[in-house]
Amino acid sequence: MASVPFASQQLSFVASASASDIFRFGGGSGLRFVTVQKNKKFGLPVCRAGSALAFRDLDADDFRHPLDKQNTLMLRAIPGLNEVGKTLLGTVTEQVMLLENIGTSVLVSKNQLSDLHHLMAEAAEILNVPAPDLYVRQSPVPNAYTLAISGKRPFVVIHTSLVELLTREELQAVLAHELGHLKCDHGVWLTYANILTLGAYTVPGIGGMIARTLEEQILRWLRAAELTCDRAALLVAQDPRVVVSVLMKLAGGCPSLADQLNVDAFLEQARSYEKAASSPVGWYIRNAQTSQLSHPLPVLRASEIDEWSRSSAYRSLLKRGIPIKSQLQKI
């Protein structure tokens, strides 16, 4: 079993999400789209006008962040880590996680919240990864996460408050972020992140100092993995402003402010943070801010995705894409 949330202590897109429509749950049987007034001064471009690019031969290493690669190798080099993880995670734990999630959520399908179903299906097609099950769960905390249970189909859970907060394009970017964890086989390490750092203190033969060292290494890997999955979000959105808007909304947005948020101002804020953190004292404070976080700071994630969107590696990937009809225009 692996927990892959997008921004809390579990691994999720949320720690980090504007266009003219916002998902809202109406009083009827399905989703309804509520149009909000667009910010006339800072209106965002419409994403993927009618078509999208799918990547038929996409490999995880085509977009994996260098820090993800580096920290994954470091984790694999830790003696006995696999054995410890198996000790901490058994069948009962897996079943508790599975039943707790599917017993309190609504399963999305062609006949249930079909708009969300189409968004997930298209994102999976673009990334060339099998689509997991998708559940919607009632929660006031905006979040999304992925669970991969041994021998069972993985599934993604999104919270209703996240659906309320994001546009269609942004919500699909979050789903793509979660798919990125599956595409990159992050599940096993996410399991360790969620359980090992708690259980290592009680496993015979593993002391607190070792557990803390493991926790630091795993959290460092988690932050790097998030940067990889932000890239997966961009590969599906194919517009960096959509991904940056997600991060901005999750840093300080709400439905009533959505039409006033400005991506350009948030990117300028990110540049200001990097400038302030470039001094010796700033560098120390930045490390202190992030060392115990499972996700990089939203402004840092925004800078990373903005920079990658301008890279030759990203442009080369786009050239490999095959046009498909976008589901975003059908919803």
Residue type, 213: T
Cα dihedral angle (203, 76, 124, 145), rounded to 10 degrees?
30
CA distance 60 to 119: 21
Instruction: Identify the DSSP state of 305.
Output: H
Catalytic residues: 178
Structure tokens given for 17:
């999400």
Neighbouring-strand partners of residue 24: 32
Query: For the chain, what is the radius of gyration of the CA atoms?
Result: 19
CA distance 193 to 156: 18
Structure tokens given for 257:
């402010």
CA distance 259 to 38: 5
Neighbouring-strand partners of residue 12: 145
Tokens 């599956």 sit on residue: 182
Q: What is the number of other CB atoms lying within 10 angstroms of the CB of residue 104?
A: 12
CA distance 167 to 119: 12
